[in-house]
Amino acid sequence: MQSINLSSRTLGVNFSSTGEAHIVLWAPLLEHAAIHLTKSNTMYPLVKDGFGYWELTTTELQPGDTYQFVLNDGKHLPDPTSLSQPETVHSVSEAVDLSDYDWHDQHWQNLPLADYIFYELHVGTFTPEGTFAALEEKLDHLISLGVTAIELMPIAQFPGKRNWGYDGVYPFAVQHSYGGVRGLQHLVDRCHDKGLAVILDVVYNHMGPDGNYFGQYGPYFTDKYSTPWGDGLNFDDEHCDGVRQFFIENVLMWFRDFHIDGLRLDAVHAIRDFSPYHILQEIKQHVDALSEQTGRTHYLIVEMDLNDTRYIKPMEQGGYAMDAQWSDEFHHALRVAAGEERMGYYEEMNGMNHLAKAFRDAYVYTGQYSFRRHKKFGVHTDQIPGEKFVVFSQNHDHVGNRMMGERTSQLVSFEMLKLLAGTVLCSPYLPLLFMGEEWAEENPFLYFVDHTDPKLSALVREGRRKEFAYFHSGDGEAPDPTIEETFQQSKLQWDLLEKEHHQTLFRYYQALIALRKAHPALKNLDRSQMEVVADEDRDLLIIRRWHEKQDILILLNFSKQPQAVPVPEAKLAWHKRWDSADVRWNGPLGAPEVILPDSGLTIQPESILLYIHE
């Protein structure tokens, strides 16, 4: 039986310091297995142990060579742990020596999680070229913006050249059209040199359909559980040990061999595992062991819609010990406060009261009855630090899952854009921006795929017409996700930064991020040092945050009218530090620079004001 090695990859094709290729294939139900080397057109049998692992050590396979495995019936298939698919997801795999890269980031230390300001991006649409190398040329833009971490949407090999990444079928392979293994390693190296952390989005709840040969190798799936994508991955049924090792080794590879700083685990609520020791706990245990061995810190951040703190609580409290989670309900409450129609997952959000609840608790539903779910939903988040939650006003899902993929800039006013940014960046949580929002990108971010199977493309096309249609009834047909034009429409327009309106918003984001970093009462994420009052009738939110001797007053007006607000008591006068309605941000009218305690103040429509005294 194979044991997990913290120091190097065990599964697949790996090379020793003497140049030997050690080949390990997990296929417990096969009777015969061999490897076919393309260059020499030769086949070598693999030897099976008692636990379903087939092995061979040879010098005939070298880095850069291509190969396939040959199964019982003589079928030639790619390696399920392939590191590179240079042709298609159906063709040969390429052997890669992961250790053959000269890293220059020995000085790098991961940031404390509380200092993370995420910037989510899709490699294929972030630049005209859609590659890691082109992304490197834009890193100075991100540095000047002030974000501290880039978050890459999934880059595991998917069919074709365009995909969101959630249809990946080779979790160990880096998308070839993006630049492959070396391109990703070089990108991470450059990011660390510039002080940026790198988060990678990974998918451990399902596999894509096109190029998915896992079932022919072994019981990777189980019919015990049904997911939106078919049978669940086998984390607790017969032969599950091999599947668990597969994903644990995948996590370790990204951290050890690519120097990734953290993983965002997609939709972990769809991971079904009733083992005594949940797969997420086992992953965390191995990541902690790797960190102890290397001295590098790595984070595990989960996406889920369960409002269940078990995922982020420590193991000694019965939790899975994930470092943080996305908070969708903060987003939903914020969007409804900004005027989003209450349909779909927005239908149970009531505006200001729920936004105030999200500010206090990250979750909106913490045990009350949900009429949409027809049950009580969620648990309280007491005693859980603010850095355990990631919040946003938009991300790839909530833009791309609109039928027309409209970005927020196409849905709300310029003043509301500034208010949304201020709400997220002044929250007691970890803020996340979605690529292009900092300059009000106007192109949509649409759903797109490049499947090789025409029948599958037709199914995706039809499914897209039906899914989320309740958001946009009467707005025409959904764009065809299978054509090149849909992908091209989703690319960022960097030339917009040269136009005044967009440049103003970029400078606004720059200054707002700098404000968060500079003021302890904003940077500190202790939710116990915060008071939140909602005025639902006037669409106002009044927030006080404090830390040590610094006290900050944050006023949020989501209405379309000026609103008079009382100034809280204080020993000293309040001094203005932020005003989205100021003329320098193309606002209508700035507020007074200094206000006295117990006086009155008028806040402009769709704006955020911030005052401070120390």
Q: Summarize pLDDT for 100-109 with one digit per residue, the tens.
A: 999 999 999 9
**401 annotated to bind ligand:** yes
Amino acid identity of residue 231, one-letter, is D
H-type alpha helices, 224-322: 240-257, 279-294
Joined together, the tokens standing for residue 414 give 């310029």
Q: What's residue 480's pLDDT?
A: 92
Angstrom distance (rounded) from CA 193 to CA 188: 9
pLDDT in tens, 465-524: 666 555 445 556 789 999 999 999 999 999 999 999 999 999 999 999 999 999 999 999
Q: What's residue 599's pLDDT?
A: 80
Q: At what angle do helices 414-425 and 500-518 cross, to 10 degrees?
A: 20
Joined together, the tokens standing for residue 19 give 């140049």
Angstrom distance (rounded) from CA 352 to CA 539: 6
Q: Identify the bridge partners of residue 370 per DSSP, sorted by sequence position.
A: 375
Instruction: Tell me the pairing of strands 430-434 and 118-121.
Output: parallel
Q: Identify the bridge partners of residue 55 per DSSP, sorted by sequence position.
A: 24, 47
Mean pLDDT of 239-255: 98
Contact between 28 and 219 under an 8 Å Cβ cutoff? The reply is: yes
Contact between 291 and 298 under an 8 Å Cβ cutoff? The reply is: yes
Q: Among residues 318, 324, 277, which one has the least CA distance to residue 299?
A: 324
**399 annotated to bind ligand:** yes
**348 annotated to bind ligand:** no
Angstrom distance (rounded) from CA 16 to CA 522: 50
The single-letter DSSP state of residue 194 is T
Mean pLDDT of 558-565: 96
Q: Which helix (H) or strand (E) holds 334?
A: helix 328-337
Domains in the chain, please, with CATH? 12-94 (2.60.40.10), 116-209+246-329+388-514 (3.20.20.80), 330-387 (no CATH), 530-613 (2.60.40.1180)
Angstrom distance (rounded) from CA 48 to CA 30: 9
**288 annotated to bind ligand:** no
When pLDDT is cut at 50, 70 and 90, the band that residue 463 belongs to is confident
pLDDT in tens, 399-424: 998 889 999 999 999 999 999 999 99
Contact between 446 and 400 under an 8 Å Cβ cutoff? The reply is: yes
Question: Is the pLDDT at 82 greater than 90, yes or no?
Answer: yes
Sign of the CA dihedral running 577, 553, 383, 120: negative
Joined together, the tokens standing for residue 412 give 């709300």
Is residue 314 helix, strand or coil? coil
- Residue 289 CB: number of other CB atoms within 10 A? 13
Question: Is the pLDDT at 2 greater than 80, yes or no?
Answer: no
**236 annotated to bind ligand:** no
Is residue 605 helix, strand or coil? coil
The residues annotated with a catalytic role in the active site are 266, 303
Angstrom distance (rounded) from CA 278 to CA 289: 17
Contact between 89 and 115 under an 8 Å Cβ cutoff? The reply is: no
**332 annotated to bind ligand:** yes
Q: Identify the bridge partners of residue 70 per DSSP, sorted by sequence position.
A: 34, 76
